[in-house]
């Protein structure tokens, strides 16, 4: 085992160590008295500040940009295929890569937050050296104030507490300390403020587009007839309307019945419910939310209209438009003076029915009249909003069994105003709400989020979604057959009828409920009794269900919803049934009748759009892209301006302090422990090595000057001194340690001692 007695020896006393090295120290001391150097500047702190500024500015700039647009594309929203083709060569933004950029910037910001205080302290510590030199020009820096700077008091809460009192501020504070504290606080609060203003939100971005085709455009109907002049209206639209009027109930949800301002999503329902409760009155959610919009109360809905797509349609991230149609009715009781006398003129529609009044106990008569020229379609081939009105007059005469037929009948006027145009389909940009009825062309409301819907091609930067070419509408303002012998036949064959004319022909025209019973009564009279006591349902009378504003039924059916096979055993029963149906139009409840005709117009428009032309003639398409969630930063403009201003002030102040530190020569690199040890050596007689826990009571620290100057201004070599009034100069030689000595050709032969320290022999030392 090796001898470890040396390791167990106590360290030599200070006096012994001093005595054993006295000879070598004399050589070193002599060398130090002859070593000189010029003061240097240090610029490395500028590189640190520059790197820190880049790490601070670049992530903030990229995150700010990410709040507006992705780095991998021109926008977060949908880009039409035309834009992608002409601009990007069908290149789609990579939103996954964009999220990675965002996450990377957040990591860098976290690193910056950690580096802020160390970098700020390093800059302030460097600049404090320059401040301690320039204090010689305006004496006042005390040793206590220098110690606060050396201890980096700008980061010490104890220093803040001491500065709160006037005496503490006077003893410890200095102008530089105030700047350093402000700079440290400013740098420390930027990142927390960013966290307050900056949030992350999830948005929908395009992923895959689906196109719904063969949707009828308004212009398709008006282009179809002249393209096929031998194909006039075949009556299918009236027939389907008639069927719908007989079978559609007022409680049946209509998927194509839209409402403006009503969206059945949880957020809107919760907001409306909270608002109503706060106002002290609970308002139930719309009936369309849950059960669905129905025709039973169509007149009371918020701007109801028909569109071919279901009301639950959303196009996601794409902006698309679709035609919409709305008809509203008024039902009035009029006098004989208001009843038109020109219904028999060419172009008008008029039809009359009656039974043999003298031979029946249930007399009845009905006349329906649409004056004007109804052999021309009221629709216009345009992408603009269009409005027109139709008027139907009814003369209903009937009497219950044994009563006398009313002499002049009951006269009614139904006015139906129809509006057609285009609206923006629900999407993410309009919060899932259907847009308002457009007055002008939908092409005027499009940007690069629109996808083409017509058959046109894109021309340059023009992003037209509908075919801009509108044929001459005057070509279609005609009857389908001009050579028909009768006015009634011309009206029947007219293509693209108005909704009220379609409803009138469905109710009273050829093949209608009343027409068939008057033309072929034997078909509806049951001679044999049914085997069932109550019979079975064989038919429905039109319009009865659409008079149901609530869930009840109109009174003419007397509680029965259908016509049973054993209810009509004679002509008397048949006339009684017709008379009861005519009483449908004598309902005194005006809102009920208006609601019924609004619902009838809805069904007529639906039958027209779905059956007037084949799929091959439907040119409209609707593109849907429900998108995918991606995380993006979100911050207000005010937040961007505020944080950017704070960051600019901080970085410019930090740079200014670093420039201030680097542009002047300095007596030491920074106020570190070695620098303060040398200062302590200079004032050792005033501050001996003793216990000093209560530093604030050592008064000498407030009297000792602490600035560094040149105490040998009149000599050829300068010497650093505490409280010296001479300013340190750039090109002047100052006594230094031998490690900092700048060699000169005029110097003698240097000698290296056993520790590797270079020094001059005593006989070669220069003499002052």
Can you give the three-state secondary structure of 306-325, one letter per residue?
Answer: ECCCCCCCCCECCECEEEEE
The number of residues making up the chain comes to 768
Q: What is the pLDDT of residue 553?
A: 34
Q: What is the pLDDT of residue 556?
A: 39
Q: Look at residue 541 and tell me whether its pLDDT is greater than 50.
A: yes
Dihedrals φ, ψ of 530, to 5°?
-75, 150
Cα dihedral 111→114→120→126 (10° resolution)? -90
Burial 377-411 (b: 16+ CB within 10 A, else e): bbbbbebeebebebbbbbbbbbbeeeeebeeebbb
Cα(748)–Cα(757) distance, integer angstroms: 16
Q: If you average pLDDT over residues 122-134, what whole number do you get?
A: 85
Rounded to a whole number, what is the distance in angstroms from the first to the last CA of the chain? 58
Which pLDDT band holds residue 479 (cuts at 50, 70, 90)? very low
DSSP 503-519: HHHHHHSTTSHHHHHHH
Q: What is the pLDDT of residue 557?
A: 38
Q: What is the pLDDT of residue 385?
A: 95
638 or 86, which is more confident: 638
Q: If you average pLDDT over residues 51-72, what whole number do you get?
A: 93
Left, alpha or beta for 292 (phi > 0: left; psi -120 to 50: alpha)? left
Between the alpha carbon of residue 588 and those of residues 298, 328, 585, 591, the distances in Å are 19, 19, 9, 9
Q: If you average pLDDT over residues 236-247, what whole number do you get?
A: 94
Average pLDDT, the chain: 79
DSSP 172-237: H--HHHHHHHHHHHHHHHHHHHHHHH-EEEEEEE----EEEEEEPPHHHHHHHHHHSTT----SHH
Which pLDDT band holds residue 115 (cuts at 50, 70, 90)? very high
Task: List, for residues 277-302, the tens digit of each pLDDT value.
Answer: 555 555 555 555 656 688 988 988 88
Helices (H) and strands (E) in the chain, counts: 21, 19
All residues at 6 or more sequence positions from 243 whose CB lies less than 8 Å from its CB, including other chains:
none
Q: What is the pLDDT of residue 238?
A: 95
Cα(269)–Cα(290) distance, integer angstroms: 11
CA max distance for the chain: 159
437 or 16, which is more confident: 437
Cα(51)–Cα(74) distance, integer angstroms: 29
Q: If you average pLDDT over residues 96-103, what whole number do you get?
A: 90
Tokens read off for 237: 């639209």
All residues at 6 or more sequence positions from 473 whose CB lies less than 8 Å from its CB, including other chains:
222, 380, 381, 382
Note the pTM of the prediction, 2 decimals: 0.72
Task: List, for residues 560-595, the tens digit of each pLDDT value.
Answer: 467 877 777 888 888 888 888 888 888 778 888 999
> Which residue from 186, 177, 116, 43 is spatially nearest to 661, judged by alpha carbons?
43
Q: What is the pLDDT of residue 293?
A: 83
Percentage of the chain with pLDDT > 90?
30
DSSP H or E stretch at residue 333: strand 321-333
Tokens read off for 64: 């700010």
Between the alpha carbon of residue 203 and those of residues 69, 99, 402, 628, the distances in Å are 12, 12, 73, 8
Are 357 and 365 within 8 A, CB to CB?
Answer: yes
Instruction: Provide Rg for the chain, Cα atoms.
Output: 48
- Residue 457's Cβ-count burial label (10 Å; 0-12, 13-18, 19+) is exposed
All residues at 6 or more sequence positions from 283 whose CB lies less than 8 Å from its CB, including other chains:
272, 273, 276
Task: List, for residues 176-197, the tens digit of each pLDDT value.
Answer: 888 898 999 999 999 899 989 9
Tokens read off for 513: 């409920």
Task: Parse the chain into domains and list their residue ranges.
Answer: 17-39+732-768, 41-202+634-716, 210-626
Q: What is the pLDDT of residue 457?
A: 47
Task: List, for residues 417-468, the tens digit of each pLDDT value.
Answer: 999 999 999 999 998 999 999 999 898 898 888 888 887 544 444 456 777 6
Are 121 and 154 within 8 A, CB to CB?
Answer: yes
Are 476 and 377 within 8 A, CB to CB?
Answer: yes
Q: What is the pLDDT of residue 224?
A: 56
Tokens read off for 517: 């019973």
């Amino acid at each position: 085992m090796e001898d470890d007695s040396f390791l167990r020896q106590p360290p030599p006393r200070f006096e012994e160590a001093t005595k054993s090295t006295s000879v070598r120290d004399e050589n070193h001391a002599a060398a130090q008295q002859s070593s000189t150097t010029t003061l240097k500047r240090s610029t490395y702190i500028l590189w640190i500040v520059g790197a820190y500024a880049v790490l601070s500015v670049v992530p903030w700039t990229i995150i700010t940009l990410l709040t507006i647009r992705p780095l991998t594309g021109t926008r977060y929203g949908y880009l039409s295929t035309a834009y992608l083709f002409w601009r990007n060569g069908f290149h789609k933004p990579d939103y996954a890569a964009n999220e990675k950029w965002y996450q990377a910037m957040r990591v860098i910001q976290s690193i910056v937050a950690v580096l802020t205080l160390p970098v700020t302290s390093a800059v302030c510590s460097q600049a404090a050296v320059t401040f301690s030199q320039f204090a010689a020009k305006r004496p006042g820096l005390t040793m206590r104030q220098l110690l606060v700077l050396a201890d980096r008091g700008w980061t010490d809460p104890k220093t803040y507490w001491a500065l709160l009192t006037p005496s503490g501020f006077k003893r410890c504070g200095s102008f530089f300390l105030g700047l350093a504290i402000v700079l440290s606080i400013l740098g420390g609060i930027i990142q927390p403020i960013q966290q307050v203003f900056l949030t992350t939100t999830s948005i929908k971005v395009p992923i895959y587009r689906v196109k719904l085709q063969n949707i009828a455009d308004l212009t398709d109907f008006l282009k179809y007839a002249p393209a096929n002049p031998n194909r006039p209206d075949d009556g299918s639209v009236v027939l389907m309307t008639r069927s719908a009027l007989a079978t559609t109930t007022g409680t049946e949800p209509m998927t194509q019945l839209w409402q403006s301002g009503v969206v059945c999503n949880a957020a809107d329902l919760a907001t409306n419910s909270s608002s109503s409760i706060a106002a002290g009155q609970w308002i139930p959610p719309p009936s369309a939310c849950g059960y669905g919009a129905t025709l039973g109360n169509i007149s009371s809905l918020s701007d109801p209209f028909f569109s071919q797509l279901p009301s639950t349609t959303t196009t996601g991230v794409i902006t698309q438009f679709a035609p919409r149609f709305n008809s509203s009715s008024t039902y009035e009781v009029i006098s004989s003076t208001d009843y038109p006398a020109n219904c028999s003129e060419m172009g008008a529609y008029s039809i009359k029915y009656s039974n043999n009044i003298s031979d029946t106990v249930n007399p009845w008569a009905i006349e329906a009249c649409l004056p004007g020229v109804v052999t021309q379609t009221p629709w216009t081939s345009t992408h603009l909003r269009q409005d027109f009105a139709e008027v139907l007059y009814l003369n209903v005469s009937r009497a219950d069994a044994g009563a006398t037929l009313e002499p002049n009948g009951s006269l009614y006027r139904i006015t139906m105003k129809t509006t057609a145009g285009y609206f923006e389909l629900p999407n993410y940009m309009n919060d899932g709400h259907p847009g308002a009825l457009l007055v002008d062309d939908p092409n005027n409301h499009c940007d690069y989020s629109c996808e083409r819907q017509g058959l046109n091609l894109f021309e340059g930067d023009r992003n037209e979604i509908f075919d801009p070419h509108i044929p001459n509408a005057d070509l279609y303002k005609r009857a389908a057959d001009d050579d028909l012998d009768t006015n009634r036949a011309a009206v029947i064959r007219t293509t693209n009828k108005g909704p009220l004319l379609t409803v009138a022909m469905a109710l009273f025209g050829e093949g209608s409920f009343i027409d068939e019973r008057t033309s072929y009564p034997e078909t509806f009279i049951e001679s044999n009794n049914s085997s069932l006591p109550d019979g079975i349902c064989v038919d429905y009378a039109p319009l009865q269900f659409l008079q149901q504003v609530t869930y009840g039924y109109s009174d003419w059916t007397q509680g029965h919803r259908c016509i049973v096979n054993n209810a009509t055993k004679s002509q008397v029963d048949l006339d009684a049934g017709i008379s009861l149906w005519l009483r449908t139009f004598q309902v005194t409840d005006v809102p009920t009748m208006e609601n019924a005709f609004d619902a009838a117009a809805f069904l007529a428009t639906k039958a027209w759009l779905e059956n007037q032309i084949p799929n091959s003639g439907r040119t409209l398409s609707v593109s849907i892209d429900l998108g995918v969630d991606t995380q993006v930063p979100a911050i207000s403009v005010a937040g961007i301006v505020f944080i950017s201003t704070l960051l600019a002030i901080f970085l410019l102040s930090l740079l200014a302090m670093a420039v201030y530190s680097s542009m002047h020569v300095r007596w030491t690199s920074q106020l570190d422990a070695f620098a303060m040890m040398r200062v302590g050596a200079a004032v050792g007689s005033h501050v001996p090595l003793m216990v000093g826990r209560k530093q604030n009571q050592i008064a000498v620290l407030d009297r000792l000057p602490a600035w560094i100057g040149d105490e040998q201004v009149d000599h050829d070599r300068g010497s650093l001194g505490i409280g010296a009034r001479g300013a340190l100069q750039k090109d002047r030689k100052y006594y230094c340690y031998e490690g900092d000595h700048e060699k000169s050709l005029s110097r003698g032969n240097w000698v290296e001692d056993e520790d590797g320290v270079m020094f001059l022999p005593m006989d070669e030392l220069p003499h002052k």
